[in-house]
């Protein structure tokens, strides 16, 4: 059995404070009524239980919005290329308040990052990070994580899981070995060790959590149908009001396309890697001027199929994790849930 502590609100607060005092801690910080994961030094600065619709994904802490790839310098003898002075991650760090969907998103990203070329920066960040869950009680309007190909209740995406019991108690449970060691070392304030009853209570919580979802779908059926629907005419009407901005991809916890750009001043420069999006018209534009995806429906087809078919075929996991971030942030409220269900109707 995993390590479980029973506690209450004050106990949880002490637990958080202990972590923040000891480690480099990141947690959702509010700005303009939107939460984003930032470095915190006090518990008052952040809200580990930030509401679902207004919280950005945790992806930028592992795959930064902008990362330096290398430096270069030109002189009479040619161009010299050197490593950047940025260290991806020196010590251990802890992230508080990570949603189920976000944590699963990282597991999904792991597949692509360990395939073919191994991204060492990403790997280092993943290995040195402890992920603590938020207390997801109720699904948001666009959430559908329970409808996909992973088991939210038994997932091992978090290292430590924090659950609001229906009996009013709060349960802190380690999920992975990393989490268990972390909990052993950092729970000096916690005294009540949970029993079999706590496990039952956590189960009950997930039952009530699952019943709060507005969006439900039959994942297997949708996936099977979509495999044969590349030429479906339905992609056109569902994407007709898309304005081809990049929002959905940039805030998605699993989108991982990037572009390379150089910042050059006189003879020295830095090469950056930053986000890119397949919904943008330029994404597939080639040097010769040909663009294989000039129309919006082709770009949306790529997005929907990559999320629900291609990635599953290649890596065995679904790329979409059902967080609903894209639908919430989309300027015209296009939901990938509606798109795939409409096409696979």
Which residues make up the interface to another protein (CB under 8 A)?
31-34, 36, 56, 65-66, 141-142, 214, 240-241, 243-247, 249-251, 259-265, 272-277, 281-282, 296, 329, 331-334
Q: Cβ of residue 241: shortest distance to another protein, in angstroms?
A: 4
Q: What gap in Å lies between CA 7 and CA 21, rounded to an integer?
A: 20
State which residue, 149 or 276, has the beta carbon closest to another protein: 276
CB of 191 to another protein, least distance (A): 40
Phi-psi sector, 57: left (phi>0), alpha (psi -120 to 50), beta:
beta
Tokens of 262: 């150089």
| Closer Cβ to another protein, 170 or 344, answer by number | 344
Which conformational region is residue 266 in: left (phi greater than 0), alpha (psi within -120 to 50 degrees), or beta?
Answer: left
Which is closer to another protein, CB of 141 or CB of 195? 141
Residue 41 tokens, joined: 């030094």
Calpha distance 269→286 (Å, rounded): 25
CB 183, CB 160: distance < 8 Å: yes
- Distance in Å, CB of 335 to another protein, minimum: 9
For residues 118 and 265, which CB has a smaller minimum distance to another protein in the complex?
A: 265
Which residue matches tokens 């099977």?
224
**Three-state SS for 19?**
helix
Tell me the two tokens of residue 311: 């990635």
Nearer to another protein, 273 or 312 (CB): 273
Q: Least separation, in Å, of the C-beta of 292 and another protein?
A: 16
Phi/psi for 335 (5° steps) reads -110, 135
- Name the residue nearer to another protein (CB basis): 164 or 277: 277
| Pairing mode of beta strands 34-40, 24-31 | antiparallel
Taking the complex as a whole, the smallest distance from the CB of residue 102 to another protein amounts, in Å, to 15
Order of strands, sheet of 66-75, starting from the edge strand that comes earlier in the sequence: 78-82, 66-75, 268-275, 258-265
Helix (H) / strand (E) containing 95: strand 93-98
Minimum CB–partner distance for residue 212 and another protein (Å)? 14
Rounded to a whole number of angstroms, the minimum distance from the CB of residue 70 to another protein is 13
- Closer residue to another protein (CB): 2 or 244: 244
């Amino acid at each position: 059995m995993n390590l479980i502590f029973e506690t209450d609100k004050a106990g949880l607060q002490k637990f958080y404070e202990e972590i923040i005092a000891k480690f480099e801690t990141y947690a959702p910080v509010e700005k303009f009524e939107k939460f984003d994961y930032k470095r915190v030094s006090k518990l008052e600065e952040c809200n580990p239980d930030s509401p679902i619709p207004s919280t950005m994904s945790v992806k930028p802490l592992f795959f930064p919005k902008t990362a330096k790839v290398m430096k270069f310098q030109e002189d009479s003898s040619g161009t010299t290329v050197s490593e950047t002075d940025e260290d991806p991650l020196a010590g251990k760090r802890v992230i508080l308040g990570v949603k189920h969907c976000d944590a699963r998103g990282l597991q999904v990203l792991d597949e692509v990052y360990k395939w073919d070329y191994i991204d060492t920066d990403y790997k280092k960040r993943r290995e040195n990070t402890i992920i603590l869950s938020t207390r997801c009680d109720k699904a948001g309007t666009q959430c559908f994580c329970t409808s996909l190909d992973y088991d939210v209740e038994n997932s091992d995406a978090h290292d430590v899981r924090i659950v609001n019991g229906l009996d009013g108690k709060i349960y802190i449970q380690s999920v992975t070995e990393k989490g268990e060691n972390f909990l052993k070392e950092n729970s000096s304030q916690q005294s009540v060790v949970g029993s079999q009853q706590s496990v039952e209570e956590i189960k009950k919580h997930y039952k009530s959590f699952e019943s709060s979802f507005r969006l439900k779908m039959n994942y297997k059926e949708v996936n099977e149908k979509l495999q044969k629907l590349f030429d479906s005419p339905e992609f056109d009407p569902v994407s007709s009001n898309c304005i081809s901005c990049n929002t959905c991809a940039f805030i998605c916890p699993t989108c991982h396309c990037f572009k390379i750009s150089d910042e050059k001043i006189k003879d020295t420069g830095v090469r950056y890697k930053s986000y890119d999006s397949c919904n943008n018209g330029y994404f597939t534009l080639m040097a010769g001027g040909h663009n294989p995806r000039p129309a919006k429906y082709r770009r949306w087809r790529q997005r929907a199929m990559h999320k629900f078919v291609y990635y599953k075929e290649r890596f065995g996991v679904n790329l979409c994790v059902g967080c609903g971030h894209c639908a919430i942030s989309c300027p015209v409220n296009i939901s990938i849930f509606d798109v795939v269900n409409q096409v696979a109707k």
